[in-house]
Each structure stands twice: as C-alpha cells, then as structure tokens.
Amino acid sequence: MATKCPSCGLINPPDAERCDCGYDFVSQAQQHSYLGEGGQRAQAAGAHSAQKRRFVSRGIRLVAGGLGAAALGIVLCVEAKEFGLAWYHPIPAFLLALFLFGWGLRDLLQAGQ
C-alpha cells in the first residue's frame, strides 16, 4: 500500500524509506531533501496546482448545491401555496442557497489567484 508523506502529502511507493521532500518514514523526522532547488520548486508548484484543483472542485459543488437549494426553495414555496400551507416560509432554503453559493464563489475566486 502506498505511503502518503505527512510533511508534503506526496504519495510514495510502499517500500520508500524517504520522501522526495526529505521526510524519513523510518525515523519520522524531516531531513534534507534529495531534490535540488529546482526540484523543490517543481514539487511546490505541483502541490499548489493540486490545491487549486481542490478549490475549483469544491467551489463548483458548492455553487451547484446553492443553486439546488434555491430551486428546492422555489418548488417548496409553490407547492406550499398550492396546498394552502401558509406556515411554510422559504427563507431558510434561500439563506442556505445564498450561503452555499457564496462559499462556492469564494473558493472559485481563491482558485483563480
């Protein structure tokens, strides 16, 4: 089974004793990296790219969830009116929709930076 480095998050082969970032799996301590300065920059760029993908993915899911919550609020509002349910207020559904939509947009904007 592959080993995930607790220092940089890189997935390493099961028989690896050290990660490229220098973390030693045997002693569980950070040591100097096997990579030169260029390799460390490339690894950091890869980690940044992975973080950007997570922000985009989560942002899209949250925006879609916000739109779904808004649609559900509208449907429930129409149905409640049709059945004479005067007690139903769509405000919580719309607040949830705004929250999810705003959170998703924030993540998408962070991914763009």
3-state helix/strand/coil string of 78-91: HHHHHCCCCCCCCH
Total Cβ atoms within 10 A of residue 109: 11
pLDDT band at 47 (very low <50, low <70, confident <90, very high): low
Report pLDDT for 36: 58
Q: What is the mean pLDDT of the chain?
A: 76
pLDDT band at 66 (very low <50, low <70, confident <90, very high): confident
Whole-prediction pTM: 0.46
pLDDT at 107 over 70: yes
Q: Are the beta carbons of 54 and 110 closer than 8 angstroms?
A: no
pLDDT band at 22 (very low <50, low <70, confident <90, very high): confident
- Taking the C-alpha atoms of residue 88 and residue 68, their distance in angstroms, rounded to an integer, is 18
Task: Please report, for residues 56, 107, 109, the alpha-carbon distance to residue 51 in angstroms, rounded to integers and kept in the order given.
Answer: 9, 11, 13
H helices of the chain, where?
A: 37-82, 91-112
Report pLDDT for 41: 53
Q: Are the beta carbons of 59 and 107 closer than 8 angstroms?
A: yes
Q: Which of 16, 6, 108, 113 is nearest to 54 (CA)?
A: 108
